[in-house]
Structure formats: structure tokens, C-alpha cells
Amino acid sequence: GGEQQILAIARCLCNQPTLVLLDEPTEGVQPSIIDEISEVLQELQAKQNLTIVIVEQNLDFIVGLASRIYTISRGVLDTEIPIEEIQDSAMVAEYLGFGSSR
């Protein structure tokens, strides 16, 4: 599954943009294809100086791509976390439902 997502991403990348906005690119996509998408995007980031803004709930997908993670709560930018600190962040654990109040 996920052929439409892959096609949409490929269509966008054909124009060699400097900025790509992706909204839930892994939704409905098979795990093996998710890995391929991640690899292609990482390669494009490195070779073409591509900036990618991703709205995504699949944290595993974005960890390999992101330099920073932002969270939004009730429509307000809540937190910015450098990717190096993601595993140590109590706020991210809270946001993902591992904390006590969620």
C-alpha cells in the first residue's frame, strides 16, 4: 500500500525544489516502502541541499531525516527539540503518551 503517497512525493521531487512540505507521508504506506522513502529523502537532502518540513506522527520515520522536532499543542508551537536530545526529552515522552498526564 501507499502507491498514491509515493507518486505524490515523486511528482513533487521532479521539479527539484529547495523546499518540500510533506503531510503524513507514511500514512497507508507499507513499512518496507517507508524505509525506501526515508533513504531517498536523506539522499536528496545531502545532494541537493533540500529542506524538508514534515508533519508526521511516525517518529521513527522522521528521526533519520530531522535536525529538529517541533511539537504543536492546540494550534500553538509548543516545543523545539534538537534531534540529538529526542530520546532524553520528557516533553516528547509526554507528547507521545508515555508521560503521566496524557
Nearest to 97 by CA among 75, 71, 76, 77: 71
Confidence category of residue 2, pLDDT binned at 50, 70, 90: confident
pLDDT one-digit tens code per residue, 7-17: 888 888 888 89
Q: Counting beta carbons within 10 angstroms of the beta carbon of residue 81, is it exposed (0 to 12), middle (13 to 18) or buried (19 or more)?
A: middle
Answer yes or no: do 7 and 51 share one domain: yes
What's residue 57's pLDDT?
84
Domain that holds residue 74: 67-102
Answer yes or no: do 79 and 97 share one domain: yes
Number of domains in the chain: 2
Answer yes or no: do 6 and 35 share one domain: yes
Answer yes or no: do 72 and 49 share one domain: no
Q: Is the pLDDT of residue 98 over 80?
A: no
pLDDT one-digit tens code per residue, 40-69: 888 888 888 889 999 988 888 888 888 888
SS3 at position 25: coil
Answer yes or no: do 49 and 71 share one domain: no
Cell numbers linked to 26: 507514511
Answer yes or no: do 40 and 20 share one domain: yes
Q: What is the CATH number of the domain that holds 41?
A: 3.40.50.300
